[in-house]
Amino acid sequence: MTVLASAVGHTTTSEDSDLMPRWQDEVRRLAIRRHAVVLAHNYVPPEVQDVADHVGDSLALSRVAAASDAEVIVFCGVRFMAETAKILAPDKTVLLPEPEAGCSLADTIDADQLRAWKAEHPGAVVVAYVNTSAEVKAESDICCTSSNAADVVRSVPGDREILFLPDQFLGAHVRRVTGRDMHVWLGECHVHATISPADLRARVAADPDAAILVHPECGCTTAALYLASTGDLPADRTQVLSTGGMVEYAKTTTAPHVLVATETGILHQLRSLNSSTHFEAVNPSAVCRYMKMTTPTSLLRSLRDGTTEISVAPDVARRAATAVRRMIEIGSPSRGGE
Ligand code: 13P
Ligand code: SF4
């Protein structure tokens, strides 16, 4: 298995395989038989992360999907991620083990709403976070993830108007780090929006020496950076990072305590990579129900029965591919949102 974002690897040894429970053997056996690669986002349940070939953030997994020579991509994550894989690899079979695994943030804008917004700003460049439907991507000029959003915005010529969607907190963060004046859609993720400034203040008051990692989708991002600038949070120990950036941080940090503001699934990777540091959630109830839908049972069913195959209409896929390919060309896989 490789842990991306990007990647540290650990290879399963024959000794490990002797100890593996049966369902994991079965996943490996079926994956080989189907010529499948199993990709898992950093937020899915730990046991699914552990059996995957690659674990990572949205950008890193998109890159793996684009480069993979497997015939089948099993995406343990949510629908927009599987659609992105299909857009990048239209000739491959892409499976999403749980067809109901959606994304509240992606649901905040549809293609009709985007077309209406574009009509109000003719000539503007549309930068769409990858957490969007394939139809919205097809209406966009370039996609980004939390790993490369600032680099993507910097790539837009300075004299062009920008429509940034759909996440208001990521948009505010990118506006701050790039200094670009952008129009930002007022969408939010129901999980990250609830990680509030109050949560952050309470956790920091209880653990004043801890380092702080904040995902840019969080409702507390602006507050975290404001408090860092006023000295209420330690500026040298407060960072805004994508999940991939958090994984990179965990590999090298010597901080004894780290408070993590994002979906709690990331803690599994952070703790596995660094057992000397104590990683804790800023809000332990920040759990994405969509990310938790993929279980060992649904992964096995997906590999056995070929469910659920993701399709994207060819004209939508073709237009979305341009925006997605621009995204994967920009920004280092290991950097955070700035
Ligand atoms: P990453 O881009 O950091 O993988 O985050 C994706 C996501 O869905 C955040 O909620
Ligand atoms: Fe979407 Fe939020 Fe879940 Fe990420 S955590 S998949 S943005 S609902």
Q: Residue 111: which CATH number? A: 3.40.50.10800
110 shares a domain with 181: yes
Taking the centre of ligand 2 as the mean of its atom positions, its distance from the CA of residue 110, in whole angstroms, is: 16
Same domain for 41 and 97? yes
> Within this chain, do residues 11 and 96 fall inside the same structural domain, yes or no?
yes
322, pLDDT greater than 80: yes
pLDDT for res 225: 82
Is the beta carbon of 101 within 6 A of some atom in ligand 2?
no
3-state secondary structure of 80: helix
Residues with CB under 6 A from ligand 1: 57-58, 131, 145-146, 189, 217, 242-243, 263
What atom of ligand 2 comes closest to residue 217's alpha carbon?
Answer: 7
Reported as a single tens digit per residue, the pLDDT across 177-223 is 999 999 999 999 999 998 988 888 899 889 999 999 999 999 888 77
Answer yes or no: do 25 and 61 share one domain: yes
Q: Which atom of ligand 2 is nearest to the CA of 41?
A: 6
Across residues 143-168, what is the average pLDDT? Answer: 96
What percentage of the chain exceeds 70 in pLDDT?
A: 92
Q: Per-residue pLDDT for 305 more than 60?
A: yes
pLDDT confidence tier of residue 147, bands split at 50, 70 and 90: confident
Residue range(s) defining the domain that contains residue 168: 106-188+317-335
| Ligand 2: residue whose CA is nearest its atom 3 | 288
Q: Is 150 helix (H, G, I), strand (E, B) or coil?
A: helix
Residues 150/338, Cβ–Cβ less than 8 Å: yes
- The least confident of 95-104, 167-176, 230-239, 248-257 is 230-239
Same domain, yes or no: 43 and 111: no
Average pLDDT for the chain: 91
**So what's the pLDDT on residue 18?**
57
- Are residues 301 and 233 part of one domain? no
Q: What is the pLDDT of residues 87-139, one digit of tens each?
A: 999 999 999 999 999 999 999 999 999 999 999 999 999 999 999 999 999 99
The Cα 27–Cα 305 span in angstroms is 12
Q: Are residues 146 and 230 in the same domain?
A: no
Q: Please, which residues have CB within 8 angstroms of residue 206's CB and are 6 or more apart in sequence? A: none
Do residues 307 and 323 both lie within one domain?
A: no
Q: Which residue minimizes the CA distance to atom 1 of ligand 2?
A: 103
Does the C-beta of 170 come closer than 6 Å to ligand 2?
no
Determine whether the shortest distance from the Cβ of 266 to ligand 2 is under 6 A. no
Please count the structural domains in the chain: 3
Buried (b) or exposed (e) across 229-264, using 16+ Cβ within 10 A? Answer: eeeebeeebbbbbbbbbbbbbbeebebeebbbbbbb
